[in-house]
Copies of this chain bind each other. A is one copy, B any other.
Amino acid sequence: MATEPVTDRREGELALADNPDDMRPDGHVVFIGRIRSKWRQRSECPKNMRAAREAGEPASVLVDPPYRAGLAGLQRASHVVLLTWLDRAQRDLIVQKPRQAVEASGVFALRSPVRPNPIGLHVVRLLRLDIAAGTLELEAIDVLDGTPLLDIKPYLPSVDSIPEAAMAGGRS
């Protein structure tokens, strides 16, 4: 979906010459469901999964009927990775200055929703799964209500958990 360009660019921010929103597609995504959350406005939406867990508001996923058969076996997972399509974010800000940050950063050093391909990555605890109804109840989520879903993957600590990883001088 095309979005209005944000006009209040902050100091040090840099836009791409070509907005990916208007570029020739290299591939296409299909929405397989939607996130249901309490968050209706950007201002109230937690900025990351840590803040979402702290807010203590459960959320859910509704998977569209054709894709529900793909949930078989997921009841064995304690946590899942959700990939979402952040359809309300612009795509052309390659260097950004988050509101609290001292200086601007490249988009690939940030978890901002504003990115060339606006794919959100969320590691969430799975509380309950109803395959027939296509619902996953989640401990928490950090996206707006109605955000489209692209994929669900089981979270596997052997490949996904790196406790000793570090972001020097930044958020850990």
Chain A residues with CB under 8 Å of chain B are 1, 14, 16-18, 20, 23, 25-32, 48-50, 66-67, 69-74, 76-81, 83, 85, 87, 94-95, 104-111, 115-117, 119, 121, 123, 125, 131, 148, 150-172
Asked, given contacts A119-B83, A162-B79, whether A153 binds B72 with beta carbons under 8 Å apart, the answer is no
CB-based contact B165/A109 at 8 Å: no
> Once the chains are docked, how many angstroms separate the CA of A121 from the CA of B71?
18
CB-based contact B116/A151 at 8 Å: yes
Q: How many copies does the complex hold?
A: 2
Asked, given contacts A81-B121, A117-B83, A165-B79, whether A110 binds B69 with beta carbons under 8 Å apart, the answer is no
Q: Which residue, of A28, A104, A105, A163, has the highest number of chain B Cβ atoms within 10 A?
A: A28
> Once the chains are docked, how many angstroms separate the CA of A81 from the CA of B72?
26
Asked, given contacts A29-B29, A95-B72, whether A165 binds B169 with beta carbons under 8 Å apart, the answer is no
CB-based contact B29/A25 at 8 Å: yes
Which residues of B are found within 8 Å of A159, using beta-carbon distances? Answer: 48-50, 111, 123
> Once the chains are docked, how many angstroms separate the CA of A109 from the CA of B69?
11
Which residues of B are found within 8 Å of A170, using beta-carbon distances? Answer: 73, 76, 154
CB-based contact B77/A109 at 8 Å: yes
CB-based contact A161/B158 at 8 Å: no
CB-based contact B74/A106 at 8 Å: yes
Return the chain B residue nearest A27 by Cβ: B29
CB-based contact A171/B150 at 8 Å: no
